[in-house]
């Protein structure tokens, strides 16, 4: 991370961007966070962003009651209790240091992710949302999602989270089959999963159920049963992922017997067909929603919008007037607590090379069933579409993309083989910095 030194004030940025002028009404710790960058490389300085993308706030809670053997998220097994008071204070201090970078920008969505955010007390969630309202420009109609683990909830908590301002719940159910839940090392059983889904429907108009398929020894019928059970609770949104073996997980070290690729493909097609028949739109690779219930937070990621991530290991992507900034908070909860409370939450920071922006944009936008508008590409990358037109045409020639005057859309084949579609847009190794 660059050494932060006091220098002469930066020129005010074009309107619509945080005016990075020190000595403004910001706290000393926020002053330290005002980035005074060494001259960015010529390549990135050629970028010019005329408007800032929508802004989201991601809040990471890095603790779980038990570590699942397939999980590579930044989550740590909690001791008896989590240091809630300290962590809430650290999150608020973290947000304060970031304010100059998001000054004057409305926050459209908030997402409490983890780990297991439902380990937090409703009082802590209430305090955090109040702090977001007081410190940042939380939009009145903001979507505020909290991830919950069916094994870590008491009945009353959902009502209290709702009262604290959470208006969307995301339930990590994964399966309603006890045999598979045990194989996944989940702390909840099928009874708790059903009860959580029931409660979610009672307290939240907007809720999501996460399901996984391609589980150890799972059959096609069992995967379909999980979807049928989930639909009985009429969730407005479902996320259906295939279990993958991630590096540095217990499953990677001791791989369980997973269904063959063809069987997993059959499961995916069966799930898509069933949900389409029930009126769910498959708007992203693994996301399904009834009309009007798409997840706005994730949509903002997929449309290459901006997000500020606070909490241990949280990532941020922020567009300034002449560059795109990526940050990571201190990853280990202990380091994060110490550093964030000392006004120094950043473990890593860098600006994205102009040459990398098209690939980063497409890795997100081509996950969407309706792809993207050419104008959005230019707005969010600061690059003309012409820089990737040759690759777009070759992808269209291979039947992976449809290029229309209004939208550039992945075909079903392009969605099934997204890696193949994307590889032509990604700048490899020593080509970095060369324009695509």
Name the site residues for ligand SF4 (rule: CB under 6 A): 64, 67-68, 71, 73, 75, 114-116, 149, 172
Give the shortest CB-114-to-ligand SF4 separation in angstroms: 5
Nearer to ligand SF4, 40 or 252 (CB): 252
Angle, CA of 229, 230 and 234, to the nearest 5°: 115
Nearest distance from residue 71's CB to ligand SF4, in Å? Answer: 3
**CB closer to ligand SF4, 68 vs 328:** 68
Radius of gyration of the chain (CA): 22
| Nearest CB to ligand SF4, comparing residues 287 and 324 | 287
Closer residue to ligand SF4 (CB): 20 or 193: 193
Joined together, the tokens standing for residue 358 give: 């098209």
Task: Please report how close the Cβ of residue 340 comes to ligand SF4 at its closest, in angstroms.
Answer: 20
Q: 332-355: b or e for each residue (b if 16 or more CB lie within 10 Å)?
A: ebeebbebbbebbbbbeeebbbbb
Least distance to ligand SF4, CB of residue 73, Å:
4
Q: Which is nearer to ligand SF4, 157 or 415 (CB)?
A: 157
Min CB(173)–ligand SF4 separation in Å:
11
280: tokens are 């769910």
Task: Find the shortest distance in angstroms from Cβ 387 to ligand SF4.
Answer: 38
Q: Specify the residue, 295 or 395, whose C-beta has the smaller distance to ligand SF4.
A: 295
Question: Whose CA is closest to 237, among 202, 195, 284?
Answer: 284
The residue among 118 and 327 lying less far from ligand SF4, judged by its C-beta, is: 118
What is the distance between the alpha carbons of residues 148 and 64, in angstroms, rounded to a whole number? Answer: 11
Report whether 207 contacts 235 (CB < 8 A): yes
DSSP state of 83: -
For residue 54, what are the CA distances in angstroms to 68, 109, 120?
34, 9, 27
CA–CA separation, 98 vs 35, rounded Å? 10
Q: Convert 94-122 to b/e letters by CB count within 10 Å (16 or more is b).
A: bbbbbbbbbbebebbbbbbbbbbbbbbbb
Residue 147 Cβ, how far from ligand SF4 at the closest point, in Å? Answer: 8
């Amino acid at each position: 991370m660059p050494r932060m030194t006091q220098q002469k004030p930066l020129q005010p940025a074009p309107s619509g961007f945080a005016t990075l002028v020190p000595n403004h009404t910001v706290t000393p710790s926020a002053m330290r966070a005002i980035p005074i960058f060494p001259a960015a490389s010529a390549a990135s300085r050629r970028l010019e962003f005329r408007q800032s993308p929508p802004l989201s706030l991601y809040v990471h809670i890095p603790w779980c009651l038990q570590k699942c053997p397939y999980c590579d998220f930044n989550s740590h097994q909690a001791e008896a209790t989590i240091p809630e008071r300290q962590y809430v204070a650290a999150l608020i201090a973290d947000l304060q240091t970031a304010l100059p970078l998001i000054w004057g920008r409305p926050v459209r969505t908030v997402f409490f992710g983890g780990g297991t955010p439902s380990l937090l007390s409703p009082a802590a969630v209430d305090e955090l949302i109040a702090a977001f309202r007081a410190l940042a420009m939380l939009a009145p109609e903001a979507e505020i999602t909290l991830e919950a683990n069916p094994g870590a909830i008491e009945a009353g908590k959902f009502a209290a989270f709702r009262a604290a301002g959470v208006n969307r719940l995301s339930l990590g159910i994964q399966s309603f089959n006890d045999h598979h839940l045990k194989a996944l090392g989940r702390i909840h059983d099928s009874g708790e999963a059903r009860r959580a889904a029931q409660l979610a429907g009672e307290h939240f108009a907007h809720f999501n159920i996460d399901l996984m398929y391609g589980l150890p020894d799972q059959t096609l019928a069992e995967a379909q049963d999980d979807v049928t059970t989930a639909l009985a609770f009429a969730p407005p949104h479902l996320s259906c992922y295939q279990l993958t073996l991630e590096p540095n997980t217990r499953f990677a070290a001791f791989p369980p017997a997973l269904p063959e690729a063809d069987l997993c493909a059959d499961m995916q097609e069966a799930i898509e067909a069933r949900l389409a028949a029930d009126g769910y739109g498959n708007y992203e690779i693994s996301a399904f929603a009834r009309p009007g219930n798409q997840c706005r937070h994730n949509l903002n990621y997929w449309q290459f919008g901006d997000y500020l991530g606070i909490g241990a290991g949280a990532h941020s992507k922020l567009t300034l007037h002449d560059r795109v900034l990526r940050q990571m908070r201190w990853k280990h909860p202990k380091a994060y607590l110490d550093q964030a409370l000392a006004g120094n939450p950043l473990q890593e920071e860098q600006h994205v090379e102009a040459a990398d922006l098209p690939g980063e944009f497409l890795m997100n936008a081509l996950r969407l069933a309706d792809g993207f508008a050419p104008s959005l590409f230019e707005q969010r990358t600061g690059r003309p579409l012409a820089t990737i037109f040759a690759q777009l045409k070759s992808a269209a020639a291979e039947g992976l993309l449809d290029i229309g005057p209004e939208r550039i859309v992945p075909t079903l084949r392009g969605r099934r083989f997204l890696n193949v579609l994307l590889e032509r847009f990604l700048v490899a190794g020593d080509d970095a910095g060369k324009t695509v």
